């Protein structure tokens, strides 16, 4: 009875709100409480097909014989040495897995593809034809292609570099059929019930009773005729298209060369989910990831990761890490509202920061934005998890900085890339050719002239080829401005890779402390601190392409105290990015499109 009475009393205990502790200062609006994690990977992305290609013909829609093609074997010890000298820790070999192509490899036992469902003469590396094989284009000896890739992995590891590769989970080529799958592995779709539009264990989505229709007006090779090109492709019943198009007749700007994989989401019935028991597609994709992990790769860049349910990632990433705990997963992600979900629930190590920092810096480089866009990124979009955001200014999907579609002048990257590399302690990425100002001129074929280096066509990358120098990888053909640009990237990335403050330091923005300064034009000038107990840095950049500024940078007392420095003492400032003698004041001359990283010392 006594116990019951006590329970009754407990039930009626009034709720007294806690008294606010008035001794605590309000949070400082110039920083966050995030504890940075040392995730400063320096990633060099290279399109394997393009990187080692020495042929300079560049004929639109050219064949592999005409325009040439880089091979695994072209990525030599010397090439890797030169990449590593730039401070790089990870190389992302893009376009490795076998994909649909118009090049005929029937002699090597690989069935030919129909041009009506291939984009570009070489084909998209994201229209996978066999998850268990590598692209025959990349091999000197096609029958020895896997051994050549394995040798590249070993060569990379021997240089103390790690290997990243693509994992394309959302869609496959219409012609998908694995010839290289291990014994006992069933092919995708082998057991599908094709009479049903959706079934939880089907690998594909079907449109029963309908035949696939090639988009009207698709012209695979311009004036030339592609292999088997006749405007038709036999697929009965038609499958749903990769970009979630549930029609037998996708449009020409859809991903019509691909078919969507079924992860247990019934799109046509309010996206009802069927995740228990674990769907067959989940198991097949786990086994594919484990197959490549078994080849000793160190991580995966996961294509359009948000088009696959987060529940799959929450299941599969721990499954792979049980076997290889240190393997990393990077999500190509574009929805800031879902970032936290894909990190916390989905277990991704890193996400693309495209919609936040990339887009903000792109606007600034084009004279369209202000530095407030950068503030919004750290204050709102990636607040609390900036160490998990992968930052970049170029990749295979984005336009080249030096293209007329983006910034024209590759030197505009200097302030933007400095922010990209030093704003937080997450990874930074460079795309092959960026460091020499590749402008992506010319209409390559399917790709057209769009400011991007093609992923669909056989092509040589002209400015990159000057550095490549017929396989010498010595940069002998680069002009003085290109050598200066490459040297800037090398200094910046080596600094980011080695600096204690950049790798694991806290962040403090200085815009509020300086915005009243007459020479501090905060539309273009941006300044912040990165600091640990071992190192304190001041980063200052000027995005204005035409005007120099001469501000005196103010570091407020509370920021000095936060860094463990005495506000009453004097300090010297040494520019770690550009060199020079230590200076005793922060009266600066900021040249147009410039960047500075000062180490603060007593």
Q: What is the pLDDT of residues 351-373, one digit of tens each?
A: 999 999 999 999 999 999 999 99
Backbone angles phi, psi at 164, to 5 degrees: -110, 150
pLDDT at 600: 98
Average pLDDT in the 109-137 region?
Answer: 98
Check pLDDT > 80 for residue 23: no
pLDDT at 25: 75
Q: Which two tokens stand for residue 22?
A: 């008035």
pLDDT at 1: 39
- The Cα–Cα gap between 390 and 350 comes to 6
pLDDT at 26: 84
pLDDT tens-digit map of 39-73:
999 999 999 999 999 999 999 999 999 999 999 99
Check pLDDT > 60 for residue 241: yes
Q: In whole angstroms, how far apart are CA 424 and each of 131, 268, 428, 480, 521? A: 35, 41, 9, 31, 23
* Start-to-end C-alpha separation, the chain: 71
pLDDT at 20: 52
pTM of this prediction?
Answer: 0.95
pLDDT tens-digit map of 286-301:
999 999 999 999 999 9
Backbone angles phi, psi at 521, to 5 degrees: -85, 100
Q: 342 CB contacts (<8 Å, ≥6 apart)? A: 305, 306, 310, 313, 331, 333, 348, 351
At 17, the pLDDT band (50, 70, 90 cuts) reads low
Tell me the average pLDDT of the chain: 96
Check pLDDT > 70 for residue 15: no
pLDDT at 246: 98
Check pLDDT > 60 for residue 13: no
pLDDT tens-digit map of 486-512:
999 999 999 999 999 999 999 999 999
At 11, the pLDDT band (50, 70, 90 cuts) reads very low
> Which 8-state DSSP code applies to residue 296?
T
Average pLDDT in the 139-162 region?
Answer: 98
- The Cα–Cα gap between 576 and 572 comes to 12
Check pLDDT > 60 for residue 171: yes
- The Cα–Cα gap between 109 and 144 comes to 12
What percent of the chain has pLDDT above 90?
96
pLDDT tens-digit map of 469-484:
999 999 999 999 999 9
At 18, the pLDDT band (50, 70, 90 cuts) reads low
At 19, the pLDDT band (50, 70, 90 cuts) reads low
Check pLDDT > 80 for residue 468: yes
pLDDT at 2: 37
Q: Which two tokens stand for residue 567?
A: 């506000």
More confident residue, 8 or 428: 428
Identify the H or E element spanning 313. Answer: helix 310-323
Q: In whole angstroms, how far apart are CA 37 and each of 20, 378, 391, 503? A: 31, 15, 15, 8
At 24, the pLDDT band (50, 70, 90 cuts) reads confident
């Amino acid at each position: 009875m006594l116990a019951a009475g006590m329970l009754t009393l407990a039930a009626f205990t009034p709720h007294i709100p806690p008294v606010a502790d008035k001794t605590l200062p309000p949070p400082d609006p110039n920083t966050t409480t995030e504890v940075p994690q040392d995730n400063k990977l320096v990633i060099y992305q290279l399109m394997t097909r393009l990187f080692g290609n020495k042929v300079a013909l560049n004929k639109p829609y050219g064949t592999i014989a005409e325009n040439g093609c880089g091979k695994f074997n072209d990525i030599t010890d010397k090439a890797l040495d030169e990449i590593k000298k730039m401070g790089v820790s990870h190389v992302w070999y893009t376009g490795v897995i076998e994909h649909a192509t118009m090049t005929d490899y029937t002699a090597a036992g690989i069935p030919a593809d129909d041009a009506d469902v291939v984009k570009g003469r070489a084909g998209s590396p994201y229209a996978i034809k066999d998850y268990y094989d590598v692209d025959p284009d990349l091999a000197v000896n096609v029958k020895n292609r896997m051994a050549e890739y394995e040798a590249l992995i070993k060569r990379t590891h021997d240089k103390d570099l790690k290997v990243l590769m693509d994992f394309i989970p959302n869609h496959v080529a219409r012609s998908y059929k694995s010839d290289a799958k291990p014994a006992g592995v069933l092919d995708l779709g082998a057991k599908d019930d094709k009479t049903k539009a959706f079934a939880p264990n089907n690998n594909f989505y079907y449109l029963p009773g309908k035949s696939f229709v090639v988009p009207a007006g698709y012209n695979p090779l311009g004036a030339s005729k592609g292999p088997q090109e006749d405007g038709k492709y036999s697929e009965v019943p038609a499958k749903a298209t990769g970009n979630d198009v549930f029609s037998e007749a996708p449009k020409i700007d859809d991903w019509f060369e691909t078919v969507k994989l079924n992860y247990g989401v019934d799109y046509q019935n309010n996206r009802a989910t069927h995740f228990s028991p674990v769907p067959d597609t989940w198991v097949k994709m786990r086994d594919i990831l484990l197959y490549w992990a078994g080849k000793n790769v160190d991580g995966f860049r996961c294509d359009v990761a948000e088009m696959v349910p987060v529940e799959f990632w929450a299941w599969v990433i721990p499954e792979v890490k049980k076997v290889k705990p240190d393997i990393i997963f990077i999500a190509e992600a574009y929805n800031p509202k879902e970032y936290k979900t894909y990190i916390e629930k989905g277990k991704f190590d890193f996400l693309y920061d495209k919609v936040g920092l990339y887009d903000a810096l792109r606007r600034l480089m084009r004279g369209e934005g202000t530095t407030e866009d950068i503030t919004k990124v750290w204050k709102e979009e990636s607040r609390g998890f900036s160490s998990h955001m992968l930052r970049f200014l170029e990749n295979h999907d984005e336009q080249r900085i030096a293209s007329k579609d983006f910034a024209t002048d590759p030197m505009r990257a200097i302030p933007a890339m400095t922010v990209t590399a030093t704003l937080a302690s997450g990874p930074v990425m460079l795309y092959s050719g960026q460091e020499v100002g590749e402008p992506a001129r010319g209409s390559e074929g399917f790709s057209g002239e769009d400011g991007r280096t093609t992923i669909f066509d056989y092509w040589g990358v002209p400015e990159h080829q000057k550095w490549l120098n017929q396989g010498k990888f010595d940069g002998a053909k680069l002009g003085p401005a290109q050598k200066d640009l490459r040297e800037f990237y090398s200094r910046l990335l080596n600094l980011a890779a080695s600096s204690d403050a950049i790798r694991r330091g806290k962040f403090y923005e200085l815009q509020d402390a300086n915005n009243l300064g007459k020479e501090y034009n905060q539309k273009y000038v941006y300044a912040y601190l990165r600091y640990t107990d071992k190192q304190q840095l001041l980063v200052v950049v000027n995005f204005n392409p035409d005007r120099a500024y001469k501000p005196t940078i103010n570091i407020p007392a509370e920021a000095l105290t936060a860094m463990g420095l005495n506000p009453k003492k004097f300090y010297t400032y040494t520019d770690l990015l550009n060199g020079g003698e230590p200076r005793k004041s922060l009266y600066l001359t900021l040249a147009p499109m410039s960047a500075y990283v000062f180490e603060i010392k007593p």
